[in-house]
């Protein structure tokens, strides 16, 4: 049995100091390769909803690393506090707790970066970004990390938020970034489209998309959310997801397109795209990547961050939980 080590708490500030988005993309691609080989396994995503809030839990096991972990968070109107908890797979003891705000943004942005690397045209240089919430900046950065962008068009239905986002993005990227007055204006002839919204009605029809467009559909991760119109999938020649099981349960868009006709064999996990080297071909029309969020992605980053923190001597020590018999009377 492995010796019990002192667990650590790794803070948000330490995580940001240890990893940038390019490092996250690299760690994610390595984790997905392990998933394809069977060395990394997902725990099915689960959630419960109340009002406009959700409690989520995801997890994974990395066999070769000897670590398993779970991330949990309550997404409420008042905020959230995501935590990634790592355990030793040999003795079940606590290894680390990681604050997971930045980690989650790097995971969500990074997985779109991996998908864009494999599924967008190699010469794609224009991004349409629909949505300007807390995940949007990382989504822009992830696409910029894998493609040489010359133009980004940004749409949000709230002009003030759209303008503020564009101003903030211009400070961070040496790319032309402009506001678009509508979804249609944003996506017109754009070879890459990323949607990262909380929409509950489809707003992106196939008619708005040029031939050969790659779409990262990031926002609709629970049943009540929808971004893509049904006819997008009628033109879709490559449908890819991070977690097929989660898409079957929670993606209304994919259930309508593939579940209703029992055609899930037409949907490919991203890990298989990487393992088989199945990049975009010249004959592909629309490609869609649906990011549901999965434990393998979070744990891939968590493992890399835990290793980096250990090397740097970072992390506040925590007491190892110890058993106490319950009081029975």
Vertex 286 angle, CA 281 and 288, to 5° = 100
3-class state of residue 155 by DSSP: strand
Alpha carbons 61 and 89: distance in angstroms, whole number: 8
CA distance 242 to 222: 15
Q: Which CATH number is associated with domain 110-290? A: 3.40.50.720
Right CATH for 8-104+295-317 from 3.30.1780.10, 3.40.50.140, 3.40.50.880, 3.40.50.1820: 3.30.1780.10
> Where exactly are the structural domains of the chain?
8-104+295-317, 110-290
d(CA 38, CA 321): 31
Which residue shows structure tokens 């909803």?
49
Low-confidence ranges of the chain (pLDDT < 50): 1
* Residue 140 tokens, joined: 């822009």
Q: How far is CA 191 from CA 58, 145, 174, 225, 283, in A?
A: 32, 16, 19, 24, 14
What is the three-class DSSP state of 121?
coil
Q: What is the pLDDT of residue 261?
A: 85
Which residue intervals of the chain are DSSP H helices? 12-18, 21-37, 101-119, 136-146, 159-172, 183-187, 230-234, 244-250, 252-254, 270-276, 295-312
Cβ(232)–Cβ(213) below 8 Å: no
Closest Cα partner for 247 from 235, 236, 256? 256
Q: How far apart are CA 223 and CA 200, in angstroms?
A: 9
DSSP, residue by residue, 162-218: HHHHHHHHHHH-SSEEEE-SSHHHHHTT-SEEEE----SS--B-GGGSPTT-EEEE-
Domains 8-104+295-317 and 110-290 are alike in CATH topology: no
For every residue of 13-37, DSSP letters joined together read: HHHHHH--HHHHHHHHHHHHHHHHH
pLDDT of residue 1: 38
Q: How far apart are the first and last CA of the chain?
A: 35
Q: Tokens 């986002």 belong to which residue?
A: 165
Rounded-to-10 torsion of CA 156, 157, 163, 164 = -70
Of 283, 280, 235, 276, the residue nearest 122 (C-alpha): 280
Token output for 178:
């402009």
Q: Which two tokens stand for residue 94?
A: 């606590």
Q: What is the pLDDT of residues 123-154, one digit of tens each?
A: 999 999 999 999 999 999 999 999 999 999 99
């Amino acid at each position: 049995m492995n010796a019990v080590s002192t667990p650590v708490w790794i803070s948000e500030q330490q995580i940001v100091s240890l990893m940038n988005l390019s490092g996250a993309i690299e760690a994610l691609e390595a984790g997905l390769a392990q998933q394809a080989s069977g060395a990394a396994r997902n725990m099915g995503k689960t959630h419960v909803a109340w009002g406009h809030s959700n409690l989520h839990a995801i997890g994974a096991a990395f066999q070769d690393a000897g670590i398993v972990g779970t991330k949990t968070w309550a997404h409420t109107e008042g905020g959230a506090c995501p935590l990634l908890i790592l355990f030793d797979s040999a003795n079940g003891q606590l290894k680390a707790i990681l604050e997971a705000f930045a980690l989650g943004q790097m995971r969500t942005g990074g997985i779109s970066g991996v998908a864009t690397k494999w599924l967008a045209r190699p010469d794609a240089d224009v991004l349409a970004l629909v949505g300007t919430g807390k995940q949007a900046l990382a989504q822009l950065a992830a696409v910029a990390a894998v493609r040489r962008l010359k133009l980004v068009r940004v749409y949000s239905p709230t002009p003030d938020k759209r303008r503020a986002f564009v101003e903030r993005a211009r400070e961070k990227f040496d790319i032309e970034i402009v506001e678009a007055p509508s979804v249609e204006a944003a996506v017109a002839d754009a070879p890459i489209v990323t949607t990262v919204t909380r929409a509950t009605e489809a707003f992106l029809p196939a008619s708005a998309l040029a031939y050969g467009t790659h779409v990262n559909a990031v926002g609709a991760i629970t049943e009540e959310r929808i971004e893509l119109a049904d006819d997008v999938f009628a033109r879709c020649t490559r449908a890819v997801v991070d977690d097929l099981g989660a898409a079957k349960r929670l993606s209304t868009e994919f259930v309508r397109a593939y579940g209703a006709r029992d055609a899930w064999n037409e949907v490919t996990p991203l890990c298989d795209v990487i393992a088989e080297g199945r990049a975009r071909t010249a004959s592909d029309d629309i490609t869609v990547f649906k990011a549901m969020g999965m434990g393998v992605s979070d744990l891939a980053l968590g493992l890399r961050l835990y290793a980096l923190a250990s090397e740097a001597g970072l992390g506040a020590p925590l007491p190892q939980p110890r058993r106490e018999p319950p009081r029975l009377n």
